[in-house]
Structure 1
Amino acid sequence: MKEVKIIRTMQQGNEMQQEASNRKLPLLVLVGPTAVGKTALSIELAKRYNAEIISGDSMQVYRGMDIGTAKIKEEEREGIVHHLIDICNPEESFSAADFQAKAKALIADIHSRGKLPFVVGGTGLYIESLCYEFRFVDHGSDDKFRAEMEKYAAQHGNEALHLKLSQVDAEAAARLHPNDTRRIIRALEVQHLTGKPYSEHQSGQERGQEKESPYNLVILGLTRDRAKLYERIEQRIDLMLEEGLVDEVRALLARELPMHAVPRQALGYKEIIAYLQGEISYERAVELLKRDTRRFAKRQLSWFRHMQGLHFVDMDQNFEEILQSIHAIIAGKFQDHLEYSTNQSFK
Structure 2
Amino acid sequence: MMAAMRRLPVVVVLGATGTGKSKLAIELGQKFNGEIISADSMQIYEGLNIITNKVTSAEQLQCRHHLIGYVNPFTNTSNTVVNFRDKALPIIERVFAEGRLPIIVGGTNYYIESLLWKFLVDPQVHDKGPDAKKLRMSDSCPVTHESERPLPPGGGTSAPGHPATIDVSSTGSDAAPVADASFEGEAALEDTGEATLDRGKVAQECCKTAASDRGADREGKFKDIDSSELHRQLTLVDPVTAKKIHPHNRRKIIRALEVYSQHGVPLSDILKSQHASAGGTDALSGPVRYDKTCIFWIQCDQTVLDARLDARVDTMMEHGLLQELHDFHREYRQKMQGDCDYTLGIFQSIGFKEFHNYLLLPEPESDTVKGRQLRDEGVELLKLATRQYAKRQIKWIRNRFLKRPGPGVVPVYGVDSTDVSLWADNVLKPACDILSAILQGENPAVLPLEAGGALTEHVYNVCDVCAGRVFTTLQEWNAHTNSRRHKRALSKQRKQLRKAAVLHSDEA
- Paired residue for 2:377, among 284, 298, 316? 284
CA deviation after TM superposition for structure 1 residue 313, in Å: 1.0
Read off the aligned partner of 1:241 and give its amino acid letter.
M
Distance 1:199 1:124 in 2: 22
Q: Residue 44 in 1 paired to residue 27 in 2?
A: yes
Q: Report the RMSD for the aligned CA atoms in angstroms.
A: 3.4
Change (3 A) 1:126 1:238: same
Q: How does 1:53-64 map to 2 (within 5 A)?
A: 53-64=36-47
- Paired residue for 2:246, among 170, 173, 176? 173
CA deviation after TM superposition for structure 1 residue 316, in Å: 2.5
The match for 2:140 is: none
Distance 1:223 1:273 in 2: 32
CA deviation after TM superposition for structure 1 residue 42, in Å: 1.8
Distance 1:151 1:132 in 2: 32
CA deviation after TM superposition for structure 1 residue 162, in Å: 7.1
Read off the aligned partner of 1:51 and give its amino acid letter.
G
The match for 1:141 is: 178
Preserved CA contact (<8 Å) 1:187 1:198: no
Distance 2:418 2:351 in 1: 26
Aligned length, in residue pairs: 302
Distance 2:322 2:260 in 1: 40
The match for 1:212 is: 288
3-state SS of the aligned residue for 2:122?
coil
The match for 2:117 is: 132
Read off the aligned partner of 1:250 and give its amino acid letter.
H
3-state SS of the aligned residue for 1:71?
coil
Q: Residue 188 in 1 paired to residue 188 in 2?
A: no
Q: Residue 117 in 1 paired to residue 102 in 2?
A: yes
Distance 2:4 2:98 in 1: 20
Read off the aligned partner of 1:265 and give its amino acid letter.
Q
Per-residue deviation, residues 97-152 of structure 1 (Å, max 9, x unmatched): 12222221111111222211111111110101211222322364349xx9657369
Distance 1:326 1:47 in 2: 13
- Paired residue for 1:271, among 349, 354, 358? 354
CA deviation after TM superposition for structure 1 residue 301, in Å: 0.3
Distance 1:174 1:51 in 2: 45
Change (3 A) 1:79 1:149: closer
Unaligned runs of at least 5 residues, structure 1:
1-19, 153-159, 177-183, 337-347
Per-residue deviation, residues 301-327 of structure 1 (Å, max 9, x unmatched): 011113042211111251221222112
The match for 1:316 is: 418
- Paired residue for 2:345, among 254, 262, 282? 262
- Paired residue for 1:239, among 308, 315, 324? 315
3-state SS of the aligned residue for 2:13?
strand
Change (3 A) 1:238 1:329: same
3-state SS of the aligned residue for 1:52?
strand
Change (3 A) 1:296 1:23: same
CA deviation after TM superposition for structure 1 residue 328, in Å: 2.7
3-state SS of the aligned residue for 2:246?
helix
Change (3 A) 1:42 1:282: same
Change (3 A) 1:83 1:236: same
CA deviation after TM superposition for structure 1 residue 163, in Å: 6.3
- Paired residue for 1:248, among 305, 320, 324? 324
Whose helix proportion is higher, 1 or 2? 1
Distance 1:55 1:47 in 2: 16
Change (3 A) 1:161 1:310: farther
The match for 2:64 is: 81
Change (3 A) 1:112 1:22: closer
Per-residue deviation, residues 61-119 of structure 1 (Å, max 9, x unmatched): 00022111100110123431100001101131222112222221111111222211111
- Which of the two has higher C-alpha Rg? 2
CA deviation after TM superposition for structure 1 residue 275, in Å: 2.4
The match for 1:225 is: 301
The match for 1:303 is: 396
Distance 2:98 2:304 in 1: 39
CA deviation after TM superposition for structure 1 residue 255, in Å: 1.9
The match for 1:150 is: 215
Preserved CA contact (<8 Å) 2:15 2:298: yes
Distance 2:269 2:327 in 1: 39
Distance 1:271 1:265 in 2: 11
Preserved CA contact (<8 Å) 1:53 1:80: yes
**Larger RCO, structures 1/2 (Cα 8 Å, 6+ apart):** 1
3-state SS of the aligned residue for 1:65?
coil
3-state SS of the aligned residue for 1:111?
helix
Read off the aligned partner of 1:27 and give its amino acid letter.
V
Per-residue deviation, residues 258-280 of structure 1 (Å, max 9, x unmatched): 63532332212221234212598
Q: Give me the TM-score of the superposition, normalised by structure 1.
A: 0.75
Read off the aligned partner of 1:270 and give its amino acid letter.
K
3-state SS of the aligned residue for 2:53?
coil
Aligned-residue sequence identity (percent) comes to 30
Change (3 A) 1:142 1:101: closer
Q: Give me the TM-score of the superposition, normalised by structure 2.
A: 0.53
Distance 1:199 1:277 in 2: 43
3-state SS of the aligned residue for 1:173?
coil
Read off the aligned partner of 1:231 and give its amino acid letter.
A
Preserved CA contact (<8 Å) 2:271 2:285: no
The match for 1:13 is: none
Read off the aligned partner of 2:332 and give its amino acid letter.
R
3-state SS of the aligned residue for 1:255?
helix
